[in-house]
Amino acid sequence: MLRFLPLVYLSVLALEAAVLVPAYVLTRPSSGSLVNLIVGGVGLACMIGMLVYSIARRSRLLRSWMRLSTWLHLHIFLGLQGILLAYVHCLPLLWRHGWPILVNPGMLNLYAVTVVFLSGLFGRYLYAQVPKTLGGQHLQLKEVEEELASMTAGLPEGIRTLWEGAPAPTGFFGVISAGSVRQARLRDLRKVGLAPEVKELAARKITLEHQKAAMGAAQRVFSWWILLHRPIAAAMYLLSFVHAAIGILFFSMRS
C-alpha cells in the first residue's frame, strides 16, 4: 500500500495545481482578497500539520494508529501541498506589482518557505540512508546485524556481489556517493531473474548492508542537518504567522 502513496498524493497535487493556477490567471484575485487569504491560510495549516510527524516520532500512541513511515508520507504530502499553495498565494503580488515586489515582506516569507522545503527534501534523502524497520523506526547497529544474519540462508550465492564491498563513507559527499552506489546495486538486482519474494529479500539485504557500512557517517550528517533545519524552520513559522496576522488585519480593515 505504501508504494502507491506517492502516486496518490502527487495526483492530488497535480489536480490542485491544474485547478488553482488557471483560476488565478483568469480571475486575477487581489493579494488581500478573501479567496487568496483562504489559499494562504490552508497552506499555513499544511505547514503546521507537518509538525505532527515530529510528535509521531516520539509518540507510541500515534505510531499505534499508523506506521511512522505513513506519518512521514503525510508529512511529505503536507509539505508539497503547503509550498504549492504558498506559491499560488503569492501570484497576485507578481502580476500586480511586477518584479520589484520580490523584496516585499510576503515574498521574503515565500523565500523562507522555499529554503525550508529544499532543506526538507535533503533531509528526506538523508533519512533514506539510515537503516530502519519496515515501520519506519531507526535501527541500531546490533539490530541491523541480527536482521542481516537471519536472512543469509534464504538468498542465492550468485547475487552476493550485489551487497559485498559496500562503501564506508566518512563525510557529507561520501554519504551521497554511497547512496548512489546502493541505488545502482538495487537497479542491477531488478535485472536478475528471481522469484518476487526472493528479490524482495535480496533488496532488503542490499539496502541494509550498504546502510550498515554508511551508518556512522549518515547519522553524523543527519544530526548536523537537524541542527541547521530546526532554527531555519522556526524562522519560517515566525515569518508565516506574522505574514498571516498582517494579511488578516488588512482584510478586516477593508471589510
pTM (2 decimals)?
A: 0.73
For residue range 81-112, list pLDDT tens digits in order. 999 999 999 888 777 655 556 667 777 788 88
* Same domain? 8 vs 103: yes
Q: Are residues 106 and 150 in the same domain?
A: no
Q: What pLDDT is stored for residue 152 in this prediction?
A: 65
On the question of pLDDT at 9 being above 70, the answer is: yes
- The 3-state DSSP class for residue 138 equals strand
> With bands split at pLDDT 50, 70 and 90, how would you rate the model's confidence at 65?
confident
Confidence of residue 1 (pLDDT cuts 50, 70, 90): low
pLDDT at 83: 92
- Indicate if 128 and 20 belong to the same structural domain: yes
Asked if residue 67 and residue 43 are part of one domain, the reply reads yes
User: What per-residue confidence (pLDDT) applies to 102?
Assistant: 64
Pairwise pLDDT comparison (15 vs 158), residue with the higher score: 15
Q: What is the pLDDT of residues 120-149, one digit of tens each?
A: 888 888 777 777 655 555 666 666 777 677
pLDDT of residue 85: 93
DSSP state of 161: G
Residue 16 is predicted with a pLDDT of: 92
Give the end-to-end CA distance of the chain in Å, rounded to a whole number: 47
pLDDT digits over 194-250, tens only? 777 777 777 887 887 888 788 778 878 878 888 888 888 888 888 888 888 887 887
Q: What is the pLDDT of residues 157-173, one digit of tens each?
A: 777 777 787 788 887 78
Q: In which band, very low, low, confident or very high, does the pLDDT at 19 lie, cut at 50, 70 and 90?
A: very high
Same domain, 67 and 165: no
Q: Are residues 131 and 41 in the same domain?
A: yes
The confidence score (pLDDT) of residue 228 equals: 85
Residues 30 and 152 in one domain: no
**Are residue 110 and residue 208 in the same domain, yes or no?**
no
**Domain count along the chain:** 2
Q: Are 95 and 26 in contact (CB under 8 A)?
A: no
Give dist(CA 168, CA 177) in Å, integer: 10
In the prediction, which pLDDT does 200 show?
Answer: 79
Q: Which residues pair with 132 in a beta bridge?
A: 138
Are 60 and 177 contained in the same domain?
no
For residue 2, the model assigns a pLDDT of 60
Q: What is the pLDDT of residue 195?
A: 74
Instruction: Please give the torsion angle defined by the CA atoms of residues 121, 80, 228 and 115, in that order, rounded to the nearest 10 degrees.
Output: 100
Looking at the fold, whether 68 and 108 belong to one and the same domain comes out as: yes
> How many Å apart are CA 101 and CA 35, to the nearest integer?
21
Domain that holds residue 207: 141-220
Are 129 and 218 spatial neighbours (Cβ–Cβ below 8 Å)? yes
- Give 185-209 pLDDT, tens digit per residue: 888 888 877 777 777 777 887 887 8
3-state secondary structure at position 30: coil
What's the confidence (pLDDT) of residue 15?
94
